[in-house]
């Protein structure tokens, strides 16, 4: 039988981590409980994060950046006016996680620590240059999301360390912010492939700046600079996007699994760019 603690402050959490060094952290539990039930015989201590108010806040900082507590669930992200206005890419991505019940429990911190190639918040966090604040009982450090994730389901998080906040730099003025996800059904679907896009266009529709990041088509999020370069200085025509799509298909490295073949994923990764035609 697991012993479960529900600290209400970060200081209390670190006290418990000190006295239970092997304890597992649980935020929403939507990954952890599945893992414990299906793959692991874990009878040790569980430390729940859900009552720690400090981890559940979305706050604008004096410099215009926005801090999202690691314990903020996806339904709170989708309903945040601040995030909807400043970072619609992230709120769109959050709205595709699982179904309503999952979004009420699943947190952005848990999504980052699980570091699944199919995690829906990650392509947006990569493009928005998100940084993670990692804390231990002794101190803290801040790392970029692309450095934090070191492989499929692998991160640089150390024992005794937690993610406390995700920090988004001051919002930039993007003309198009869009998240697209292809799954095997319309809701409660894990991504077969996904694409996050940020585009800045001139008044006549010429692309001035482009960022593209794919999920579920490689060991981690894949950003394809060649595809980004291929659209800069051009309008979003079918010809331009087809050329970028070909570069994207060369850049991704998908695998076969129960949801889709690698070849299908590669095709879809390129095709997702063509959806920008109706932007």
User: Which residues would be at the binding site for ligand FAD (CB under 6 A)?
Assistant: 24-32, 34, 49, 70, 97-98, 102, 105-107, 109-111, 113-114, 119-120, 157, 162-163, 188, 190
Least CB distance to ligand FAD at residue 103 (A)? 8
Measured distance CA(41)–CA(51) in Å, rounded: 26
- In whole angstroms, the minimum distance from the beta carbon of 11 to ligand FAD comes to 15
Q: Which of 269, 214, 275 is nearest to 245 (CA)?
A: 269
DSSP summary character for residue 46: E
Select the residue whose beta carbon is closest to ligand FAD and give its number: 110
Residue whose CB is less far from ligand FAD, 190 or 248: 190
| Nearest alpha-carbon partner for 221 in 248, 261, 259, 256 | 248
Q: How far is the CB of 25 from ligand FAD (least distance, A)?
A: 4
Nearer to ligand FAD, 14 or 228 (CB): 14
Residue with smaller CB distance to ligand FAD, 167 or 232: 167
Residue 23: DSSP 8-state: P
CA–CA distance, 93 with 196 (Å, rounded to integer): 8
Using DSSP bridges, classify how beta strands 207-215 and 193-201 pair: parallel, antiparallel or unpaired.
antiparallel
> Which residue's CB is nearer to ligand FAD, number 64 or number 100?
100
CB of 42 to ligand FAD, least distance (A): 11
Question: What is the closest distance, in whole angstroms, from the C-beta atom of residue 98 to ligand FAD in the complex?
Answer: 3
Nearest distance in Å: CB 58, ligand FAD = 15
Nearest to 147 by CA among 220, 59, 40: 220
Q: 238-251 vs 262-274: helix axis angle to the nearest 10?
A: 150
Residue entry with tokens 């482009």: 210
Both tokens of 23, joined, read: 């304890």
Rounded to whole angstroms, the Cα distance separating 81 from 35 reads 33
Nearer to ligand FAD, 184 or 235 (CB): 184
Q: Which is nearer to ligand FAD, 111 or 271 (CB)?
A: 111
Q: How far is the C-alpha of 167 from the C-alpha of 69, rounded, in Å? A: 9
CB 215 within 8 A of CB 193: yes
Q: How far is the CB of 48 from ligand FAD (least distance, A)?
A: 8
Residue 28 or 270: the one with the smaller Cβ distance to ligand FAD is 28
């Amino acid at each position: 039988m697991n012993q479960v603690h529900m600290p209400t402050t970060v200081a209390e959490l670190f006290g418990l981590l000190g006295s239970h060094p092997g304890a597992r952290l649980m935020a929403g539990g939507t990954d952890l409980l599945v893992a414990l039930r299906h793959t692991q015989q874990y009878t040790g201590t569980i430390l729940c994060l859900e009552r720690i108010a400090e981890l559940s806040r979305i706050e604008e900082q004096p410099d215009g950046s926005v801090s999202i507590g690691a314990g903020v669930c996806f339904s709170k992200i989708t309903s945040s006016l601040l995030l909807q206005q400043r970072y619609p890419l992230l709120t769109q991505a959050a709205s595709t996680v699982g179904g309503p019940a999952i979004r009420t429990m699943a947190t952005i911190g848990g999504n980052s620590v699980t570091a699944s190639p199919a995690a829906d918040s990650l392509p947006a966090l990569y493009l928005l240059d998100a940084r993670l604040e990692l804390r231990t009982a002794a101190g803290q450090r801040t790392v970029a999301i692309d450095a934090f994730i070191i492989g499929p389901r692998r991160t640089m998080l150390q024992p005794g360390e937690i993610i406390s906040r995700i920090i988004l730099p001051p919002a930039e003025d993007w003309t198009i912010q869009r998240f697209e996800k292809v799954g095997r059904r319309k809701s409660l679907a894990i991504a077969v492939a996904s694409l996050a896009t940020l585009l800045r266009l001139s008044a006549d529709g010429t692309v001035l700046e482009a960022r593209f990041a794919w999920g579920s088509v490689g060991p981690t999020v894949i950003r394809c600079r060649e595809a980004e370069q291929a659209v800069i200085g051009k309008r979003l025509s079918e010809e331009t996007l087809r050329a970028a799509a070909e570069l994207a298909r060369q850049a991704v490295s998908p695998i076969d699994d129960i949801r889709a073949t690698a070849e299908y994923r590669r095709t879809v990764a390129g095709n997702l760019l063509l959806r920008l035609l109706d932007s």
